Amino acid sequence: MNIILLGPPGAGKGTQARKLEDERGMIQLSTGDMLREAKASGTEMGQKVAAIMDAGELVTDEIVIGLIEEKLEGDHGGGFIFDGFPRTLPQADALGALLAKHGATLDAVIEMQVDDDALVARITARSTCGNCGEVYNDLSKPIPTDGKCSNCGQAAEFKRRADDNEESLRTRLMEYYKKTSPLIGYYYAKGDLKSVDGLAEIDEVAGSIATALDG
Catalytic residue among 13, 19, 39, 194: 13
d(CA 191, CA 56): 37
Name the nearest CA neighbour of 150 among 141, 159, 161: 141
What is the 8-class DSSP label of residue 144? P
d(CA 1, CA 105): 8
Catalytic residue among 18, 71, 141, 172: 172
Q: Is 172 designated active site?
A: yes
Catalytic residue among 18, 48, 71, 87: 87
Q: Is 13 designated active site?
A: yes
Q: Are 92 and 122 in contact (CB under 8 A)?
A: no
* Helices of type H across the chain: 13-24, 31-41, 44-54, 61-72, 89-101, 116-123, 166-179, 182-190, 202-214
Catalytic residue among 39, 122, 126, 194: 126
d(CA 131, CA 158): 9
Catalytic residue among 71, 148, 161, 179: 161
What is the 8-class DSSP label of residue 198? T
Provide the annotated active-site residues: 13, 87, 126, 161, 172
